[in-house]
Structure 1
């Protein structure tokens, strides 16, 4: 096995709603931060604090001891890692790579196999916790990949999250995230229906939230997103369009395993309707629009 490089320089690719906060925590933990983002302006604050900008992802990979990515879609992940000038091609042997995008388990396994051939271990490490968890370094990080590489990168993960578990080999992190997204999708429908029922019954939905938010019905969707729904605050902590992508991956994996998931299928139908109405860039709590006629 190729010896792993001591981690001093950490590259971060993808500085969106969550990535910018995550990269900031890595920088604050004392690592020399190197950054790339398709929109350079999103890196300005980190660069002003000392981060090193790179014009291309491959250039960043060649300069770093570890690289983290959190981008949009599986196609973006595939191009970033497996392209001719991508991370695996340009990273020095012994560099640890970790993709924190929610992506396809089968793609994660293919990328990890390509990394093995180059002496570059690749972890799949999707996260849950949204913009709030990213800002507060309280993300849940679900990791798949080689155990030694996971242990090596654990201090970097610890800068971003507080529930960090290796779930198994390559792809296991993405499978775990699919289980997470399935639970969220069905719970989001439940919260919308609960609040709609309370309002139709003539109750104060906010008072109802206080009563049910600490009992058996408690959830992040209920306690954090429920008030946003009632306030008409549909700003994205996680985009509808990205959630639709995740649900599509989970449904495809379930079909491959011969598993019927009717709740997830219904949630995706509703979110597809929401996106078709022009709300793809809203946050996932915007599902309430369909119930409230907003």
Structure 2
């Protein structure tokens, strides 16, 4: 497992709980501590972590970070793949990911993209779904790892397809959070009970676990980061760029970006549920 942020750590702990042997690398070595304490072996270079591993998975911030891990001195590509594939679980700009996939394959490491739907909680409990792009034989090779980590593997097409779907999904996340925030603002303006509204919403045709989860976080004042506003803004910006490159004229994603842009960096470190509090007029948001 290369990349030991919140999601990479949760995924590594999941595999350790299934009695897998886990080898880890992170550019900042101290971030491997939770996995080391749980029984993983930490390594000084990507090449060292990859050597001897049956599967190689990365959870990184963007394609530039993935390229660096592949092609740096003692990077992944310095080790023969020996039939293995590189399984990337992060979110990327689709065109950049597809281009990097060609470079990776030329270096002997076919790439499978498998961005995740879900949070750290889902990673810990094995309830993630994966939006997968890559060649059929490469996806088939990666499937045992993905099924160990989650409960849904959805092969959508070639490289870039998985991240296109992930950006589309996160657009819906932003739209749903923003819509719920404006709805709650209207309720508050008229002194109506938000909890009663959420109960009614649960019983309607609009019922959604996401509405319930976000609404409850709003009521509890719980904005501890699971998926930060900064990451939502980044993905919405990428969705805008990808839509424009596809000949489309995005409207909702740019509007959400304009809404998020003026927020402070501190505010953007909060969970995206804080968008509801912001739209509802909470002074702390």
Q: CA offsets per residue over residues 60-102 of structure 1, 9 Å max, x none?
A: 1233232111122332223223435432333433121111111
CA RMSD of aligned residues (A): 1.8
Report how far residue 118 of structure 1 moved: 2.9
SS in 2 for 1:159: helix
**Structure 1 range deviating more: 229-238 or 67-76:** 67-76
Q: Please say if 1:15 is aligned against 2:4.
A: yes
Q: Structure 1: how far apart are the matches of 2:230 and 2:199? A: 30
**Residue number in structure 1 paired with 2:134:** 145
Q: CA offsets per residue over residues 123-174 of structure 1, 9 Å max, x none?
A: 1110011122112211111110111121122111112111211111111111
**Residue number in structure 1 paired with 2:241:** 252
**Structure 1 range deviating more: 255-264 or 65-74:** 65-74
Gapped regions of structure 2 (runs ≥ 5): none
Q: Structure 2: how far apart are the matches of 1:18 and 1:95? A: 23
Contact 2:237–2:253 (CA<8 Å) still a contact in 1? no
Contact 2:114–2:132 (CA<8 Å) still a contact in 1? yes
**Residue number in structure 2 paired with 1:49:** 38
Contact 1:35–1:54 (CA<8 Å) still a contact in 2? yes
Structure 1 length-normalised TM: 0.89
Q: CA offsets per residue over residues 191-244 of structure 1, 9 Å max, x none?
A: 111222222222110111111024222234311121112222111001222222
Q: Please say if 1:262 is aligned against 2:251.
A: yes
Contact 1:109–1:170 (CA<8 Å) still a contact in 2? yes
Which of 82, 85, 102 aligns to 1:96? It is 85
Structure 2 length-normalised TM: 0.92
**Equivalences for 1:131-210 in 2 at 5 Å?**
131-210=120-199
Contact 1:105–1:175 (CA<8 Å) still a contact in 2? yes
SS in 1 for 2:261: helix
Gapped regions of structure 1 (runs ≥ 5): 1-11
**Equivalences for 1:218-237 in 2 at 5 Å?**
218-237=207-226
**Residue number in structure 2 paired with 1:287:** 275
